């Protein structure tokens, strides 16, 4: 016995071999994709041919010690004519397969296929199609292509790369000039009346709208406005907050949206 034979025999020792469903899952994991390598020139479509599918699946079945055996076949024949009027024979095959795992346990599955031939190959074609369908469906083998079934579009149109939605990047946070910020803080603290505060508030709104003041600094200045405004007696002849178009108790962002 060669080294290779001994290795394979040990790998599929029934004592430590996986059950058939686990072996099939491993085959399924190794058959990642099978693309549409065939092309029908008459009807202009791509397909996955029988030989292509068997070439992809067969070696992996052998690697995992899995057998796929046709154990029952129901065949129906029908005499037809081609589009050119030639006599042909159509065959429909419903095949029951027994999947044998390395442990010897089995799974039973069914598949169907159709084939048409002008001579005697209709049955062989139907059997080959049934095996191809079994592998593609039971192993759930994708093509790796984009999904053609998108909103009723044709495969050609659906497979075209769709333009990416444009994502607007948020505007960068403005940076407040330190000298301007210090001057504004001093002027708020030195305001003599509500009229002075109203004027300074309008300047802050204009600076925020122009992107010259950060959100954090604007909020801090608003707090100063509120604290300084409490020092004034609203019964004086100075301009009252409620009589002006600008209320320093209003959130600065809301004031900007309202056009204050």
Q: Which residues pair with 47 in a beta bridge?
A: 38
* Residue 199 forms part of a structural domain: yes
Return the pLDDT at 165.
65
Q: Which domain holds residue 95?
A: 3-145
pTM of the prediction? Answer: 0.51
Q: Which two tokens stand for residue 28?
A: 């399924």
What are the backbone angles phi and psi of residue 79, rounded to the nearest 5°? -80, 130
Q: Please name which of 19, 130, 34 lies closest in space to residue 64, comparing C-alpha atoms.
A: 19
Q: Do the beta carbons of residue 145 and residue 88 sit within 8 Å?
A: no
Q: Please name which of 218, 220, 223 lies closest in space to residue 203, comparing C-alpha atoms.
A: 218
Grouped pLDDT means (10 residues each) for the chain, 260 residues: 43 77 95 86 82 95 96 93 88 96 96 91 94 95 74 48 65 85 88 86 88 87 83 51 47 58
Residue 11 three-state SS? helix
Give the integer Cα–Cα distance in Å for 246 and 224.
15
Return the pLDDT at 236.
44
Give the integer Cα–Cα distance in Å for 142 and 164.
24
* Residue 161 forms part of a structural domain: no
Return the pLDDT at 97.
97
Give the integer Cα–Cα distance in Å for 96 and 71.
6
Q: Which two tokens stand for residue 10?
A: 């040990």
Q: Both 134 and 207 in a single domain?
A: no
The 3 state secondary structure assigned to 122-140 is HHHHHHHHHHHHHHHHHCC
160 contacts: CB under 8 Å, gap ≥ 6:
none
Q: Both 50 and 91 in a single domain?
A: yes
Q: Do the beta carbons of residue 153 and residue 147 sit within 8 Å?
A: no
CA angle 102, 105, 108 (to 5 degrees): 115
Instruction: Please count the structural domains in the chain.
Output: 2
Q: Both 37 and 138 in a single domain?
A: yes
Q: Which residues pair with 78 in a beta bridge?
A: 90
Q: Please name which of 53, 127, 129, 69 lies closest in space to residue 101, comparing C-alpha atoms.
A: 69
* Residue 209 forms part of a structural domain: yes
Q: Both 197 and 100 in a single domain?
A: no
Return the pLDDT at 242.
40
Q: Both 86 and 205 in a single domain?
A: no
Give the integer Cα–Cα distance in Å for 209 and 215.
11
Q: Both 198 and 107 in a single domain?
A: no
* Residue 247 forms part of a structural domain: yes
Q: Both 135 and 250 in a single domain?
A: no
């Amino acid at each position: 016995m060669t080294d290779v034979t001994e290795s394979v025999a040990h790998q599929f020792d029934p004592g430590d071999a996986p059950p058939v469903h686990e072996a099939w899952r491993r085959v399924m994991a190794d058959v990642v994709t099978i693309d549409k390598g065939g092309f029908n020139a008459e009807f202009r479509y791509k397909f996955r041919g029988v030989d292509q599918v068997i070439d992809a699946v067969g070696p992996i079945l052998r690697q995992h010690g899995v057998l796929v055996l046709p154990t029952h076949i129901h065949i129906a024949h029908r005499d037809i004519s081609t589009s050119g009027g030639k006599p042909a024979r159509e065959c429909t095959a419903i095949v029951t397969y027994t999947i044998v795992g390395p442990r010897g346990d089995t799974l039973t599955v069914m598949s169907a296929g159709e084939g048409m031939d002008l001579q005697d190959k209709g049955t062989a074609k139907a059997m080959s199609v049934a095996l191809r369908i079994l592998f593609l469906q039971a192993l759930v083998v994708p093509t790796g292509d984009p999904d053609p079934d998108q909103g009723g579009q044709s495969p050609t149109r659906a497979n075209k790369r769709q333009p990416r939605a444009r994502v607007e990047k948020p505007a960068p946070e403005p940076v407040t000039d330190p000298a301007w910020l210090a001057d504004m803080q001093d002027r708020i603290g030195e305001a003599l009346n509500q009229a002075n505060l109203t004027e300074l508030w309008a300047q802050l709104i204009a600076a925020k709208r122009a992107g010259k003041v950060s959100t954090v600094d604007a909020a801090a200045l608003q707090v100063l406005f509120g604290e300084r405004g409490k020092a004034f007696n609203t019964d004086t002849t100075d301009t009252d907050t409620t009589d002006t178009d600008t209320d320093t108790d209003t959130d600065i962002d809301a004031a900007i949206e309202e056009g204050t």
